[in-house]
Structure 1
Amino acid sequence: MKSIFTKLMLTAAVIASPVLATADDHGDDLTYVLVSHAPDSDSWWNTIKNGLALAGEQMGVNVEYRNPPTGDLADMARIIEQAAASNPDGIITTLADYDVLKGPIMAAVDQGIDVIIMNSGSPAQAREVGALMYVGQPEYDAGFAAGQRAAGDGVGSFLCVNHYISSPSSTERCQGFADGLGIDLANQMIDSGQDPSEIKNRVQAYLSANPETDAVLTLGPTSADPTMLALEEIGLSGDIYFGTFDLGEEIVNGLKSGVINWGIDQQPFLQAYLPVVVLTNYDRYGVLPGNNINSGPGFVTKDGLELVEKYAGEFR
């Protein structure tokens, strides 16, 4: 017969032993669909795809990425409807145009599908459509912070190269920048389109017609890369103040060379990765963060570029 002391020691050992939770019997057959507004031509979204895939692998769930090939928002609305019809456990979606996309998103919520808004839109709009939360960078706030930074550097006028003018969130970046500078946006924003040659030509035409322009603001690699070529051809490379949203291989090179003063990192990896983690834990254990998650803005300069350069276009 075991002594009372031995029994107490065994009992204490059982109580003290950690209980390791696993995904077994906790919703290990979950599927989440991420719908973006990005056209196939926009390489910036590769980071989103990588974050989504890694989260799916680490959490042991199924993930899908869907988007309108040309970036057409009406097409995106139909894709959200199709995603909801497949009855996934959750939908992660951008809210690039509230008026166009609110209908299918709210219909998905009414159907009982959990939704998280990421990348574009706002926390307020996420609440209005019934989403669980918002994960992303408030675009106006990011533009405003960039404008304040530029104002501190002596900028008083600028050109905003908007390559996705049909998306209200893109315009919010330009408007925020103008407000941060304390000036009117007026005609300082151009619709550049997405063709690299057209972007380069339109930037050169604007700067030729407005030689007093202090700065250039681009909204991502799609507009930043051709703008760098435009500035080089007209002899302004490194001589005009240049800020950009987002990161990419050529943007990192521009930061290193001093052609670009700063890039705004909204950390797109987190915008795709975190919603999968949140949804998985919500479905498995009923836990949910109490607040929205701001993934940016963060300013990247040529100082401290080591990890950014290493993972640019992949995870940064």
Structure 2
Amino acid sequence: MQSPRKTRYTRAVAAALVAVACASAGAADKYVLISHAPDSDSWWNTIKNAIKQAGEDFGVEVDYRNPPNGDLADMARLIEQGAARNYNGVITSIADYDVLKSAMGKVTAKKIPLITINSGTTQQSESLGAIMHVGQPEYEAGKGAGMKAKAAGIKSFVCVDHQATNDGLMQRCKGFADAIGADISKSLLDTGEDPVTVESKVSAYLRNNPGTQAILTVGPSGAVPTLKALEKAGKYGKIWLATFDLTPEISAAIKNGGMQFAIDQQPYLQGYIPVAVMAIMKRDKTTDIGKVQAALKADKKFAARLAEYGLAPAYGPRHIGSGPGFVTKENIGKVEQYAGQYR
């Protein structure tokens, strides 16, 4: 017998899929992708490029919306506006489940298809009634990074978390801690997103904890200021450092030995796939996720883009994984060619 929660999820997904498959013909469908990123976060430029290409490939329109200062209350209002404007589909990150679940509920209550990306877990996505989640399995990615650190002899670390309310980022830290056998409660540094503050807090932590062997940053907002802090402390390249995601500064650090690797969650896929999935459901008049994924795999334009950019999605029964991939000195040439645009 299905649990009440499973039954509610199944009904919600069915309603959303029917809404996609049965949308009326006429003007081009219009979707919106709402992120939690402030205007200053250039990492999301790759996702902006992805939704633009997906819109062109599938003949649909896609808007991008975000809270200018990264305020999650503003993000919730943007999601509510997405519901009020009756988009054909809403794509959004789960930056903070508790803050955003009410707003997402207004989307699904109107039977507007919802796909979650990037932040959050597949379990959270299902509980919100989303069709699927497209993102990196965060705990596993953190653990994979931790296993590499363990092999290098690392037993202690600090995780620089620039967005403490984001459960996905916490999972990255926890996976790493579990892999090396560290106590996560003693290995967290909540810095916020202001780069000056991040640099100051990392510098202070290293002064107070001189035996720290390694640093894991959970994104560029923490990584770039951390690199500056290490340079000023004369510890650049001397402390084991890894991060999630890529920027030109991170690529340079990998090449010159200041950073071990970056964990790439292939953000292009987080933008392109949700738009493609909704468009295919409408085009093929199907609610079968298996058939939709098969059609996506067979799409020649999508296949060509994957080959050109060196990307590889991980298809599941419903959800689609966009990572992790490890960017090192050995493979950074291919990745760097498209970094900030399509990687």
Same fold? TM cut 0.5: yes
The answer to whether the 8 Å contact 1:26/1:284 transfers is no
Retained in 2: the 8 A contact 1:44–1:220?
no
Counterpart residue identity of residue 43, structure 2: W
Residue 235 (structure 2) pairs with residue 256 (structure 1): no
Query: Residue in 1 aligned with 2:61?
Result: 62
The secondary structure found in structure 1 opposite 2:174 is: helix
Partner of 2:139: 140
Cα displacement string for residues 146-171 of structure 1 (whole angstroms, at most 9, x for unaligned residues): 11221121110111111112322222
Given residue 300 of structure 1, which amino acid in structure 2 is its aligned partner? Answer: V
Which runs of 5 or more residues in structure 1 are unaligned? 1-24
- Secondary structure of the 2:54 match is helix
Quote the residue 2:326 is aligned against.
299
State how far apart, in whole Å, the 1-side matches of 2:26 and 2:263 are: 37
1:30 aligns with 2:29: yes
Decide which moves more: 306-315 or 129-138.
Answer: 306-315
Equivalent positions of 1:150-169 (< 5 A) are: 150-169=149-168
Q: Identify the residue that residue 229 of structure 2 maps to in structure 1.
A: 230
Decide whether aligned partners of structure 1 residues 201 and 27 sit closer, same or farther in structure 2, where only a CA change above 3 A counts. Answer: same
Aligned to 2:266: 267
Matching residue of 1:3: none
Which amino acid is 2:149 matched to? A
Instruction: Name the count of aligned residue pairs.
Output: 292
Query: Offset of 1:293 from its aligned partner?
Result: 0.5
Alpha carbons 1:121, 1:138 under 8 Å: kept: no
Which one-letter code corresponds to 2:331 in the other structure?
Answer: G
Which SS does the other structure have where 2:186 is aligned? coil
What residue is the counterpart of 2:276 in the other structure? Answer: 277
Q: Which amino acid aligns with 1:225?
A: V
Whole-angstrom distance in 2 between the partners of 1:74 and 1:229? 31
Task: Write the distance in 2 (CA, Å) between the matches of 1:284 and 1:26.
Answer: 10
- In the alignment, structure 2 segments of 5+ residues that lack a partner are 1-23, 287-291, 294-316
Instruction: Choose 218-227 or 190-199, whichever is displaced more.
Output: 190-199
Which digits, 9 at most, give the CA deviation of each residue in 1:22-74, with x for residues without a partner?
A: xxx97661111001111111111111111111111121110000111121112
Partner of 1:40: 39
Aligned partner (choices 329, 336, 341) of residue 309 of structure 1: 336
Letter in 2 for 1:222: S
Name the amino acid aligned to 1:271: Q
- Report the Cα distance in structure 2 between the residues aligned to 1:230 and 1:208, rounded to whole angstroms: 11
User: 3-state DSSP class of the match of 2:176?
Assistant: helix
Moved more, 254-263 or 196-205: 196-205
1:94 and 2:93 correspond:
yes
2:191 corresponds in structure 1 to 192
Structure with greater proportional helix content: 2
Identity in percent: 51
Shift of 1:122: 1.4
Partner Cα distance (1:127, 1:143) in 2: 22
Q: Displaced runs of 4+ in structure 1, greater than 4 A? A: 25-28
CA distance in 2, matches of 1:40, 1:126: 25
Paired residue for 1:111? Answer: 110
Q: Distance in 2 between matches of 1:177 and 1:27?
A: 50
User: Are residues 1:210 and 2:209 paired?
Assistant: yes
Q: For residues 282-303 of structure 1, what are the alpha-carbon distances to aligned partners after superposition, in whole Å with 9 as ceiling and x for unaligned? A: 1121343342110011111011
**Bigger Cα Rg:** 1
RMSD value, Cα: 1.5
Alpha-carbon distance between aligned partners in 1 of 2:96 and 2:138, rounded to the nearest angstrom: 13
- Could you tell me how far apart the structure 2 residues matched to 1:246 and 1:89 are? 30
Following the alignment from structure 1 to structure 2, what is the Cα–Cα distance between the partners of residues 201 and 271? 32
The alpha carbon displacement at 1:305 in A equals 1.4
